[in-house]
Amino acid sequence: MEPKTARITVLIDPGKKLALEKLCAEQDVTPSQVVRRLIRDYLVDNGIAVAKAPSEQPQQRT
């Protein structure tokens, strides 16, 4: 089952948005992926434990 997601709205100037979208296209990632990575790294850098989503955790053998 997919984990539920929450929406966050971020306002940036149009020039930065365009540059982000262009770079993301070149790197074959979405802006959402980049923002999620930034948030995860920021939390970890500030000592906040981040639980991985079930889809990111290694599967156990039985």
pLDDT digits (tens, 9 = 90+) for 39-56: 999 999 999 987 776 555
Which pLDDT belongs to residue 9? 94
**44-51 contact pairs (CB < 8 A, 24+):** none
DSSP conformational letter for 62? -
pLDDT in tens, 5-34: 899 999 999 999 999 999 999 999 999 999
Q: For residue 13, what are its two tokens?
A: 């100037």
| Residue 7: per-residue pLDDT | 92
Q: What is the DSSP string of 23-37?
A: HHHHHT--HHHHHHH
pLDDT recorded at residue 53 = 63
Q: How confident is the model at residue 59 (pLDDT cuts 50, 70, 90)?
A: very low
CA dist list (Å): 58 to 43, 52, 62: 22, 10, 13
